[in-house]
Amino acid sequence: MSQLTLLGTGTCQIERERRASSVLLELNGLPILFDCGHGTLQRLLEAGIRHDQLEHVVLSHFHTDHISDLLPLLQAGAWSQRDPRSTDLHIYGPPGVRRLLDGFLHLLGHDALTQPHYQIVAHELAEDSFQIGSYSFESHSLPPAGNQGLRFTWNNRRYALTGDSSFHEQEVRTLTGVDLAVIDAGHISDEEIVELAARTQVGTLVCSHLYRELDARALQERASARGYKGTILVGQDLQTFAL
């Protein structure tokens, strides 16, 4: 099974309908988490993945609403009596991810967050591409948040996830030629969403990381008037797309 699930489409705001930023990729059954904001682990369970089955987490950047469920993930792995971790946990992120994890362990204690029979492995994404198992991913720098967007190809289709981002040429280049993209729509205006769609011609543009309510129909009409041929969607928690 290969699919993409929006676990959290919200922000730092505390809302009933939306948890903070997180996307679950399942590639031939291998779960890979992109960002881990508050509420992610509960949504992960609702999507059918236990915390101890997760071995790969990719962080776009270090804003709290993208990393805050890392601590419960580590603690549950070490101390849950129902589903304790038995395999290594690999955490990928921009330079500084190793220092972040070392800080957690130093402040709270290794015994609080780890066990000796598995490892917490930090991978700093300083290069343009990286591997998770046999799968290749591209890492794209998207200002201004020190954010690393993700792009990959699966079954001859291209996908992109942006984490936090403003409207800029790097974003346009990252999304151009992509079949499905999950974008940060909370830090850009409706006009910039329309401009992104028209300039990049993304097949399906999914708006996530939402601080405000968006009118997908109005955005679609405005983008179509500028020659956009694809589809604009407003993402919802636990919405799933087949890959």
Nearest to 238 by CA among 208, 214, 205: 208
Question: Quick check: helix, strand or coil at residue 168?
Answer: coil
Catalytic residue among 35, 52, 65, 184: 65
Instruction: Look up 65 and say whether it is catalytic.
Output: yes
Length of the chain: 243
Residue 106 to residue 171: CA distance in whole angstroms = 36
Dihedral through CA 174, CA 176, CA 181, CA 184, nearest 10?
Answer: 50
Q: From residue 14, how far is each of 9, 128, 189 by CA, in Å?
A: 12, 34, 21
Q: Which amino acid is at 120?
A: I
Burial readout 215-238 (b: 16 or more C-beta within 10 A, e: otherwise): eeeebbebbbeeebebbbbbbebe
Nearest to 32 by CA among 3, 12, 72: 3
Residue 179 to residue 228: CA distance in whole angstroms = 13
Q: Give me the helices (H) in the chain, please.
A: 40-46, 64-67, 70-79, 97-108, 110-113, 169-175, 190-200, 216-225
Q: Which amino acid is at 8?
A: G
- Give the catalytic positions in this structure: 65
